[in-house]
Amino acid sequence: MCKTGNSRIICICAIFIIAFSIGCTDFFASLEKHHDWIVTEEGNIVLHSRPKGFSNSASPDENIINSILANQNFYYYLILDSLKLNYNDKVLIYLYNHDEAQDAIGTNSGGSIMASRSTIYYSFMIGSYKDLFGRDAYIGSEKMVKLITQRSLGSNYTRLMYDGYAVAFSGSFGKAYDENQEIIIANPVSDWMNIHHINNHILSPEQLLYETGWDNDIYIPNAGFFIRFLWKMYGVAEVNKLFNLNSDNIVSKIPEIFGVSFEELSDDYEKYLESVLDNNNEN
């Protein structure tokens, strides 16, 4: 069921409250652009998209809206099941047209979240890509993972946990053109790690916790790969206990939670990397 917001006063007030709550009024475009949404709800997802002809860029049509809703509900429930989380709030998604997104949310090639309001802001791009779940995605799962983990596990996270959980869940980072299939596909993390193995850009657990200034294409695949290793070795529920800790506390809590020292865990991860990357059999 779709409906167009018809109260400009309410919309403007809501936007003002959101901007005030994050202390960053220039996060949004001018107030005049924060009305005229088509609101479509399905399951636990409430999608706000622009009507046809709103701007010079394309707006999502009904088929794309339905696809986004189906995908985001799929991710939502799979995240809860896979990451052993308990969450039932609705997630709001504001999908800005490409030509307004840079001014509105600071990017026209991705998005951001406001976990405190259970909200995702994203730039609409007309073309989808094939994610590793086999779905034709327009937004992907990463923002949903970041939102739900913060809401469920806490917001005092490290970059390792913030980026690592999202990429470990999706299994991918970035996109590439597949010449054989002639489609855009998600880039598997394992492909990135094989490249980083060749280029000597494999990061140790200590580096992932304390040297977080690496470029995204080096740090984020490494973080996701390490988190997936932890899930595989110790179980998701146990790793969740580390999510809301700072780096020092993660190191000090590992013996209590995993039964090994940080040094032993680091050695085990190094051996795992050598085995997996040499044989290209990570799963």
Q: Where are the domains of the chain?
A: 2-153, 159-279
121: enclosing H helix or E strand: strand 119-123
What is the Rg, in whole angstroms, of the alpha carbon atoms belonging to the chain? 20
Token pair for 254: 């590992």
Task: Tell me the one-letter amino acid at 181.
Answer: Q
Is 80 exceeded by the pLDDT of residue 265?
Answer: yes
**Residue the block writes with tokens 């506390």:** 249
Query: Which candidate, 99, 111, 5, places its Cα nearest to that of 48?
Result: 5
Band of the pLDDT at 32, cuts 50, 70, 90?
A: very low
Min mean pLDDT across 8-22, 209-223, 226-240 is at 8-22
pTM for the full predicted model:
0.86
pLDDT, one tens digit per residue, over 36-52 is 999 999 999 999 999 99
C-alpha to C-alpha distance for 33 and 31, rounded to whole angstroms: 5
Cβ pair 213, 223 in contact under 8 A:
no
